[in-house]
């Protein structure tokens, strides 16, 4: 495999633009390993970002009771919209910590339900976004396969070591895939900053 065709600066410049300039980004953080916690904390400390927490205990209770997740999904959607209207990059993340589950099967079902809800929320905003950053393997896979409904992507290169930027779907939405336990505490913030700065050039 030869070198990627685009360097990091060129990758960041793939951020989509509208008639008024660069379109906003969206960050999803499904991973809850300690490193992801530290990276999320660093990102949310930036006033240009606005956090929206998806409560895993609340979602788990709804699943156990057989209740629909529409209200929880709508609440997340509205909070993300508020940050977009305010000119901030919305960051949708799961509540931190491990949710107790009765069995491995229940844990898997919960994890999939979380990823699917996040994917639906992101997909609803996709056409208005300049880029997406997705942290966590299940989160990224579900976003691509179920949320955006793409069967294949175009790999463009690595924005930072281990962080692959792909173009997804016919509208070529730039999506940065970010493994859960990768990088340093500041890596997520640096990746977001590069996408913001590169797309504004």
According to DSSP H, which parts of the chain are helical? 8-12, 34-44, 56-64, 70-85, 104-125, 137-142, 187-200
Query: Which of the residues in the chain have pLDDT under 70?
Result: 1-5, 99-101, 199-201
Render pLDDT for 71-109 as a digit per residue (tens, 0 to 9). Answer: 999 999 999 999 999 999 999 999 877 766 677 777 778
Task: Give the pLDDT of residue 1.
Answer: 55
State how far the Cα of 25 lies from the Cα of 89, in Å rounded to an integer.
6
Task: Give the pLDDT of residue 96.
Answer: 77
> Do residues 187 and 193 touch, judged by C-beta distance below 8 A?
no
Q: Per the structure block, which two tokens stand in for 93?
A: 């993340």
Task: Give the pLDDT of residue 4.
Answer: 63
Task: Give the pLDDT of residue 130.
Answer: 96
Query: 3-state DSSP call for residue 34?
Result: helix
State how far the Cα of 136 lies from the Cα of 35, in Å rounded to an integer.
12
Task: Give the pLDDT of residue 201.
Answer: 42
> Do residues 6 and 156 touch, judged by C-beta distance below 8 A?
yes
Task: Give the pLDDT of residue 3.
Answer: 64
Q: Per the structure block, which two tokens stand in for 4?
A: 């990627």
Residue 162 CA: distances (Å) to CA of 135, 150, 185, 195, 198: 12, 22, 15, 16, 19
């Amino acid at each position: 495999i030869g070198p990627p065709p685009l360097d990091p600066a060129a990758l960041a410049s793939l951020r989509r633009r509208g008639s008024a300039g660069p379109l906003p980004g969206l960050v999803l953080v499904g991973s809850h390993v300690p490193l992801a916690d530290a990276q999320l904390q660093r990102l949310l400390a930036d006033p240009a970002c606005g956090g929206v927490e998806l409560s895993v205990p609340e979602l788990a209770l709804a699943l156990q009771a057989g209740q629909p997740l529409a209200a929880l999904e709508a609440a997340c959607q509205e909070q993300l919209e508020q940050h977009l209207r305010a000119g901030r990059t919305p960051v949708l993340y799961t509540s931190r910590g491990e949710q107790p589950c009765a069995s491995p099967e229940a844990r898997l079902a919960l994890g999939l339900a979380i990823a699917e809800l996040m994917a639906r929320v992101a997909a609803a905003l996709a056409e208005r976004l300049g880029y997406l950053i997705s942290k966590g393997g299940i989160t990224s896979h579900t976003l691509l396969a179920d949320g955006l409904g793409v069967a294949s992507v175009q790999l463009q290169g690595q924005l930072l070591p281990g962080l692959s930027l792909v173009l997804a779907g016919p509208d070529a939405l730039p999506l940065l895939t970010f493994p859960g336990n990768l990088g340093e505490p500041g890596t997520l913030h640096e990746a977001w900053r590069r996408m913001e700065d590169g797309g504004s050039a």
